[in-house]
Structure 1
C-alpha cells in the first residue's frame, strides 16, 4: 500500500520537502602545519617542499623565460604566464575605469584604488608605525618602513657577508659586485651582464617606447618612467618632508628639498666664493660666470641663461599672472611666489634658526638672518668698499653713489632714493589734513 505522503506526491506533482537533520554541525578545525622546510640562502621557512621549491626560484640566476611585451625575465614558465596576464588585465582595466575622483577627475578600476588616491588630497595617513610614530598613506609603505626598525636581516649577499632586511636593498647591493659583462650592443661599445639590460639599452638607439600612458599621448622606454609619469595625472605625491610637510612626486625631488633645511654647503665656487648645498646648484651657478645668455626677450634687450627665466620675464611685459591665491585672489608670476604668499594666510614658518630659535616663512630670509650670527657680509660696494648682509641693502646703498631716486610722491612729485624716505615724506602730507 502507498503511504499518505506518496499519495500526496502523485496528486500534487511535487516531491515532499526534505526533512532537515537536527544533529549539530561539526566544527571545522584548521591545523597549522609546522614550517620544517628552510631556504638555505635567505633562511625563509615553509610548510611543504612545493612552496620551498617555488621560493628557491627567486634566487635563481638562470631566467630563460622572457616577456615579449616588456622583456622581463623569469626562471619559471608559470611565473611568466602569471606576469603576461598583468599586461592583458591592465589593457582591459584601462577601458573599465569607472571610479572617478571628485577632486581631480582621475579614474580608477577599483574603489580601493580610488580610496588610496583620495588620501593624496585629504592628507589622511591611517597607517602608523608603533615604534617611531611615522604615518603613511598605504599599508605597504608602513611595512617597508617597519623593516628599518627590525634587527632581522633575512636577505644575504652570496658574494660577501652583508645582510639586509629588504630584498630591494640586497638587489641594489649586488650591483656593487663586479659582474662579467658578456652581452655587447651592436650599435655601440656598451656591454651588459643581463639580456634584459641589453634590451632596455637598445631602445636608446631604436627610439622604441613600448609603455604608453592611457590618459595622454606620452610613451616611455621603461615601465618605471610610465609609473612616475602617471603620478602627474593622479596628483599622487608619495614622498613627503618630515620637517615642513612638503610633498613631492619623486624621491629625488625630496632629497634635493631636504638640503633647504640643512646649513651644510659643501660645494664651493672658486670664482666668487659662493657655497651651495648641492652639486647641481653649483653647476647652475657657474653659468653666471661663464655661461652664454642665449635666450633674448623680443620686447626688450634682456637676455637669460635659461628658457624658463625668459618665460617668467615675458609675463612682466604681458601682465600675465597665472598662479592665483584661492583665499584672497591675489595673482603671482610663479608657483613658488604663490607658495610663499600662502604662508601669510596660514602663518606657517617652516625654516628654523638653530642658533636663536627664530622661525621664517622663506628660506632666503633665514639665510639673511643667519648672517647676523656669523657676521658674514658677502655683498660689497665696488665704489667705496662697504659690505652688507643682504643684496637688497647693497642696491639701496648704491643709489647714494648713482643718485637714482626711483620712489615718487604722487602728491607733490618729489623723488626719493629709499622707500622709507618716501613713507616719512607722505606723513607730512597727511599731517596737513589732520584736524587740530
Structure 2
C-alpha cells in the first residue's frame, strides 16, 4: 500500500494594519519612519532535520512555503529556513520525493503617490530551504525532484533565496529519475540554487536532469559520475550556470549532454573523462559558453562533440586526448569558436575533426599529434579558419588533411552533430 508523507513549513509574513491611511510627502519620510512596523522573521521549521527512509512506495513531500507580504508602513519582512541543517537518507525503492523551496515576495501598496518606489523596500527576502543540505540515495526506481522556485516580484531590493548554500547529493542506486531545477525565466527571477553544489553518482541507468532558469545555479558546481548507462542532462537558460564547473566521468556507456541557452554557462569549465563508450555532447546556443574551457579524455571508444551556435564558444579552448578509438568533433556554426584553440592528441585510432562552418574558427590554432593511426581533418567552410596555425606531428601512420571550402556533407562520419549525442 502506498503511503503519503507531507511536511510543510508555511510562513505567511504580513504586517499589522492601521485604520489610518497616510499620504506622506518625500520630505516627511524620515520623520515618520519611526512609525513603520517591523515584522519579525519566522523561525526555522527545525534547526536540524534528519529523515531516514527505508520503506518503499511512499510519496514524500517537503516544502518551505514562505510568502512574505510587504505592505504599507513595513520596513522589512523575511521568511526563514526550513532547517539550518537538513539530511535525508533513502534506501527504499519506488518512492517519490518532492522537495521545494517555494518562497514568494509580495509588495503591496505605498505611501500615497509621492514617495519614490525605492524608498519603500529596505530588506525583503526569503531564506534558503537549508544552509546545509545532504541527500544520500541508495535506493532504486525512485523519483526525486528538488526545486528552488523563489519568485521575487520586486527587482530593486527584494530577492529570492538559494535552495541551500552547501548542497551535497550522493546516489548509488539504479534506475532513478533525479531532477534539480532553479528559478523560472518567465517571471524574471534571478535567484541562485546553491553556492557549492556537489553531485556524486555511482549508480546505473539513472536519468539525471539539472536545469537553471534563474540567476546562477551554483557558484561552484561539481559533478562526479562513476556509474554506467546513465542519461545526464545539464541545461542553462539563465544568466550564468556556474562560476566554476568541474565535471568528472569515470563510468561507461553514459549519455552526457551539456547545453547553454543563456548568457554564459560558466567562467571556467573543466571536463575530465576516463570512461569508455560514452556519448558526450557540449553545445552553446547563447552568448558564450565559457571564458576558459578544458577537456581531458583518457577513455576509449567515446563519441565527443563540441558545438558552437552562439556568438563565441570560449576565449581559450584546450583539449587533451590520451585515449584511443574515439570520435571527436569540434564544430563552429557561430561567429567565432575560440580566440585560442589548443589540441593535443597522444592516443591512437581516433577520428578527429575540427570544422568551421560560419564566421571565424579561431585566431590561433595549435595542434600537436603524438599518436598513431589517427584520422584527422581540419576543415573550413566559413570566413576564416585561423589567423595562425601551428601543427606538429611526431607519430606514424596518420591520415591528416587540411581542407578549405569543402562540402563537408560528403564526410558525415568526420564530425559529431548535436543533438545526436544529447539524451534530451
TM-score above 0.5: no
**Structure whose CA Rg is larger:** 1
| Higher RCO (CA 8 Å, separation ≥ 6 residues) | 2
Question: TM class, shorter-chain normalised?
Answer: under 0.3
Q: TM-score normalized by structure 2?
A: 0.27
Q: TM-score normalized by structure 1?
A: 0.26
Which structure has more helix as a fraction of its residues? Answer: 1
